[in-house]
Chains A and B, each alone.
Chain A
Amino acid sequence: MSQGPLLEIRHLCIRYRNGRRTVNAIDDVSFEVSPGETVGLVGESGSGKTTLANAILGLIPVESGEIRFAGQDVAHLSFKERRAFYRQAQIVFQDPYSSLNPVRTIGRILAEPLEALGKTDRAAARERARAMLVRVGLPEDAEGRYPREFSGGQRQRIAIARALMPSPRLVVCDEATSALDLSIQAQILNVLQDIQAGSGLSYLFVSHDLEVVKHMCNRIVVLYRGQVMESGAAASVFGTPGHPYTYALREAAPVPNPRLQRARHLAASGSTATPVEKLTPGASHCPFAPRCPYVEPRCLNERPLLQPSQDNGQVACHRYPGWRSAEQRPTRTSDGGTSAPTAASYVPVVVPDLVPDSSARQV
């Protein structure tokens, strides 16, 4: 019935310059999104997930590789072609406070995608805007008001409504709930689910929050430093992580269960950080190697390729699946004494290229 994947990313590379250095924000990333599916893109700062989201929407240029939407290359489009593409793919941004123009009414903000994309019938646009407001759970009369009259959660609903106006087939949610309070986040996630149930569109859900991703997504792609570490069905990636990084991520995110957290603390899980100098300069290597408790020499010299893992998934790890039963390296902490073992007590190394000059979550 479905004619192949809706969105295909193939060997994508995105680079940008930071001063004199060139940073590989996205380094040979491949994955797919099928129609009606929700795929989660998980990673921390520096993973490249926001860069990837922006690149899919054509907001930043691509160095090499392909981005295909319904079979068509969308990485290199002319202005008109891109405009047509925006009828099919839209984005909801993270910050509800700066994603709406403060001097325009909600109605004008919602109508804008339709006006720009060709449908200029004002009355029809207004009707649709009103309908969309209702669909995201806001009153119709919101149309004549200004963004500042709405709370963060309400603004995010408006942003979602705007994204839905051209009836896209794919909506990229770039940390769409990360800036919201817990109870509001729950409301917004429900809205997103309802919309998908109603229209069968696909989501690419970018987030750093594993719990949210597990809740919302059918499949998960785990990124670290611009490379795919693991991908697969959400339940199995989360339940039995194939990659040490996924495991570390899951164990590090605290859950609202004090007993479980205490148990995690007691689980002896230490690591030795490999000083960066030991990496052969210039050679490719696993990006997680410096922090991995299961690192072996091969990891420092050869980049692991994606191999099939459980449940139709993929994992990029030299030691898969053996690491799960392997011994972890003993703990060493910097103050020389014995430490209470903690889950993921990495010894932080002054790594020169971890210098951000913006907030921790953006890449």
Chain B
Amino acid sequence: MSALVPLIAERPRGSSGLRPSVHLWLRRPVAVCATAFLAVLVVVSVAAPLFAPYNPEAQDLTRVLSGPSTHNLLGTDTLGRDVLSRLIYGGRRSLLSIVEGLVVVMLLGIPLGLAAGYLGGWTDRVLSRVGEMVMAIPAIVLILVVLAAVPHNEDVAMLTFGVLGTPTVMRVVRGATLQVRRDLYIQAARVSGLTHLRIVTRHILPRVTGPVIVQASLFSAYALLFETGIAYLGLTGNPEAPTWGGMIAEASTVIEQQSWLLVPPGALVALTILALGLLGNGIRDVAVVDDVATRPRRAALRASTALKSAQVDHRDVRPDRLIVVSDLEVVLRNRGGTTPIVAGVSFDIRHGETVGLVGESGCGKSVTALALLRLLPNGLETTAGRALWEGRDILGMPEGEFNDLRGCTFAYVSQDAQASLDPTFTVSSQLSEAIRHHERLSRRAAKERALELLRLVEFSEPQRVARARANELSGGMAQRVAIALALSGHPRLLIADEPTTALDVTVQAEILALLRRLQSETGMSLLLITHNWGVVADICDRTLVMYAGQVVEQSPAQSMFDLPLHPYTRGLLQSHPSLAVAHSHLKTIPGNVPSPGSWPDGCRFAPRCPYVAAKCRADEIPLLAAQSDRDTRCIRVGEILAEVTSA
């Protein structure tokens, strides 16, 4: 999945750090409404004397319990007091309470959270324990104790509420701090000589403000809810001064005579809490510092959609080919639009052979593999192409039909083996589950077969491994288990996406040897995706090189190494350190890979190609058959070869 990260990263973004957030904010009507509502509320409450039409405590016994009228916009209460004015002044009280709680919770929560997250060790342990204990106390009870001792003192109650709410904020700040702390630039800041305090204020705090603001708005919502609650219970405020909760309480007593009275305070409370909640959500969605996150894209669980495919011509069916892929196209769909990731990829895989799909990050090789398995993550979609297997187009099949092929015809092994196993199940139960899905076996028989599979992947103590879980396995062991899982259905084609990239060199050699052996014993085909030319040389019969979403060269492995037919392949091989003269410059390909969406016209490699000519930039370059069983997407290949061989 990490192969997809640079893909997404390269999309052009706005220039500065925070300004895009404001733009995004304005594009979300709900968040804007919420902000506006709260702003109006704050202004009106603070400037209450300016806005309230009447004195909130002025009684008018001639106008008791009247509904909305021209005299009293929102009606009057049991003592003829104007509801609107009381709401406004009540809002003032609520606002003050929220601020009291908020100030306390922030003043305590932020520094403690930063300390716990940054310092770790004992500080963290102690603070977390204390926080846990405080969270275990139902706040309201302790505040009731306080109110019992200091009756009707809403300020003290809210301050206590703030103190009791600290652990939640502390926990959030701590979590955010821990995440940021893992980033290497914190280490870099230390090596720049910054004091810890400066590191915290300069590097950690800015990253933490997002979650803090979200928590602030959520806390405000809870504080309001709480404040209205205790006001409703009559525990705060003097009975004369208006509070929203008190107004609701009062309204409930006269619900028979004037049910309207319940509406203004109730609706206002609900709307304010709603607005605060929406504000929090909005901030959370927008102000996440969405840098080149190493957070992987989410895989979809949705069923893949089948492509509407044309009739399969019987002439297209080639029995010597296991699978023939034609004109595969995959796009990325998101808010920015549609970006092609893979365009016009065609290749085939023969029975029993190992094909290497090679390229650098962003070329689309992982996406191609996932497209074949119809397991593309959210946002990526196959828009065109065909993949013929035994006369049927697997991209055009209904999902149910294709799912029957998954695991038993087409199998998959990915890069991060430990992450590809379910951590809550043992190896044995996962293997058994897969086995029983493919064959009708009893539990015991399936367990036996699982052990067999483990022996097949060269475990000397299969029982021990069978009992283990993903987190107890080393990288190499986990990959063997993943291979065993993939083999459980006797697949004809195993698609391995960078299976050894995350492993140590010596373990990599073992896994490659294992794959070679398994392939020769079972006769299955292997599509191996890698960026490592050594791996290609080690195990592949044929190679496909991808660049910027296209196949640029296809060739048997040995001939590709002997004489690459595309300038890109050439450039890559030449920049390999094993081919360089020690301590002198490596030959490089100038420039960078164009990101999806900014592919140049004509040959996509032209801007970086040492052999570029005018005609290279003119039209789309097709994949041309060069020598026997070799293809290349270079229209100058003949001239280049002549040049090279004569030199």
Contact = CB atoms under 8 A, between A and B. Distances in A.
Query: Do A's and B's CB atoms come within 8 Å in the complex?
Result: yes
Interface of A: 44-45, 54, 57, 59, 79, 82-83, 86-87, 90-91, 93-95, 97-103, 109, 112-113, 116-117, 145-149, 151-154, 159, 162, 181-187, 189-190, 193, 208-212, 214-216, 218, 234-235, 248-249, 251-261, 265, 273, 333-335, 339-340, 342-351, 354-357, 359-361
Given A98-B184, A184-B360, A347-B458, 5 more contacts: A152-B361, A252-B508, A273-B460, A354-B477, A361-B502
Given A181-B531, A215-B583, A344-B510, A256 B360 contact: no
B557 interface: yes
Nearest to A253: B505
Interface stretch (B11-19, B47-55, B57-65, B112-120): B11-19
Contacts of A351: 474
The 3 lowest CB-CB distance pairs between A and B, nearest first, are A254-B534, A102-B291, A186-B575
A233 to B, nearest CB: 11
A334 B538 contact: no
Contacts of B580: 215
Nearest to B189: A112
Contacts of A183: 360, 571-572, 575, 588-589
B557 A258 contact: yes
Contacts of B192: 86, 112-113, 116-117, 162
Interface residues of B, number: 95
A193 B585 contact: yes
B25 interface: no
A152 B505 contact: no
Contacts of A350: 459-461, 464-465, 468, 477
12 contacts: A45-B475, A91-B187, A97-B292, A148-B9, A151-B592, A254-B508, A273-B460, A334-B455, A340-B517, A348-B480, A350-B477, A360-B503
Nearest to B589: A183
B294 interface: yes
Contact of A360 (B16, B502, B510, B532): B502
A355 B203 CA distance: 33
B27 to A, nearest CB: 20
Given A99-B184, A186-B587, A348-B477, A215 B191 contact: no
B185 A261 contact: no
B207 A103 contact: yes
Contact of B504 (A44, A57, A234, A254): A44
A100 B533 contact: no
B230 interface: no
B188 interface: yes
Given A97-B294, A102-B17, A348 B476 contact: yes
Interface in B430-485: 455-456, 458-461, 464-465, 468, 471-477, 480
Interface in B500-538: 502-510, 512-513, 516-517, 520, 531-538
Contacts of A251: 509
Contacts of B232: none
Of the listed residues B9, B520, B532, B588, the one surrounded by the most CB atoms of chain A closer than 10 A to its CB is B588
A44 B472 CA distance: 19
Contacts of B575: 182-183, 185-186
A273 B529 CA distance: 31
Contacts of B187: 54, 59, 91, 93, 99
Contact of A208 (B461, B504, B512, B534): B504
Contact of B583 (A97, A153, A193): A193
Contacts of B561: 256-258
A222 to B, nearest CB: 12
B6 A182 contact: no
A45 B476 CA distance: 12
A333 to B, nearest CB: 6
Contacts of B573: 256
A357 B471 contact: yes
Contacts of B583: 193, 215-216, 218
Contacts of A145: 15
A253 B455 CA distance: 25
B259 to A, nearest CB: 52
B504 A211 contact: no
Interface string B556-593: 01100100000000011101111110111111110011
Interface in B187-219: 187-195, 198, 203, 206-207
